[in-house]
Structure 1
């Protein structure tokens, strides 16, 4: 499922990044690596606040749709 479908408070494992190479590299530099755990902290109309590797990161819904979790 896409990260954008995860409920607030849930923690999931990243299994795939379905984005262009440049976007993948940027996400990986932020800690979005296959096998890493990510938690949805909050959601607003434009996107999400996520907790990954102990840091809070904001992502818009379009990018969150490209991160596949289980």
Structure 2
């Protein structure tokens, strides 16, 4: 998502799906700790445990440290 490459890539769809279900999620070391934390939270295997899956939804995502420098209250003007 942030690197331009897929987190799991098998030789075919079946192998890719097996990796998604079983393989450990690797993180490139050049990603910041906040970026790694965000990706790990979004890639939880159980959808109910993913960042943003709570009743707080998108607000939970917006509060993640990766987005700390974003002012979500700024309106866009053209």
Q: TM-score, normalised by structure 1?
A: 0.32
Q: TM-score, normalised by structure 2?
A: 0.29
Please say which structure displays the higher CA radius of gyration: 2
Structure ranking higher on relative contact order (CA contacts 8 Å, 6+ apart): 1
